[in-house]
Amino acid sequence: NTDKIIFSPEFLRESKALYDNLYPSRIIIGRSNDNDFLIKKSQEFALLLKQGALKEEIPTLFMESTDAEAVKLFANTYLALRVAFFNELDTYAEVKKLNTKSIVSGVCLDPRIGMHYNNPSFGYGGYCLPKDTLQLKANFDGVPQNLITAICNSNETRKKYIAESIYNFWKEKYNKEQPVIGVYRLTMKSNSDNFRSSAIQSVMKELKEKNTRIIIYEPTIKIDIFENYEVINDFSLFKNISDIIVANRYDISLD
């Protein structure tokens, strides 16, 4: 009985999967519109999802299964597009010595754009965006397109640019034969142990090919070697060994 359960805002923010189920933006059910049995069962299933949610008046759509799949692929690819766009904005600002934060703030005050999905990063990663963009690109076989391919290419360009920037900074400042690059956290969100396909891992791969030693600080990893990278979870030792620390996100301990 969800009426008797109270979730703190902090808990819901950190548990996105739970939040999405309790407050879904929409419910989309794929089915065959020519099958009365599936039409009936899809309506029952949608009702169950609504009963399990705390949000009321949830927009609900019923459509052919292939159309529902297309909704997911295009929605995630659009989100990937926003990530890629603001990453390219950030790259441009850095090369031209402009202020990324000021530009992003000015651009996003346009209500047609909005203040969401606008934070420059190492690139889009995780479980859904990389695979869904590539799946949509593959589905476009025989269909004219330029944008979907460009989104995928832009993400790879961003990760290569980040790796080049780190390495070139090292060479100009220290010129040591083999720098030790410490990677602070692989997880993509605070209070999470999810680092599946996080973009920082692609940056690490690029750096490793440049004859660098990569070490990882990631307390959620309980082994000494992860994907052929050394894991050092003694933070003091990690800091002392590292020549440069690449932070997947800021933490006060890095001060």
Give CA–CA dist 142/101, Å, rounded: 40
Burial (0-12, 13-18, 19+ Cβ within 10 Å), 207: buried
Q: What is the DSSP letter of 222?
A: -
Beta carbons within 10 angstroms of residue 190's beta carbon: 10
Torsion of CA 92, 94, 96, 97, to 10 degrees: 150
The residue among 245, 254, 171 whose CA lies nearest residue 204 is: 245
- Residue 179: Cβ-neighbour burial (10 angstroms; 0-12, 13-18, 19+): buried
Three-class SS of residue 182? strand
CA dist 157 to 4, 94, 119, Å? 49, 15, 17
Tell me if residue 142 falls in helix, strand or coil.
coil
- Whether 152 is catalytic is no
User: Distance between CA atoms of 223 and 239, rounded to whole angstroms?
Assistant: 19
Q: Which of 12, 75, 89, 128 is catalytic?
A: 128
Which positions are annotated as active-site residues?
Answer: 128
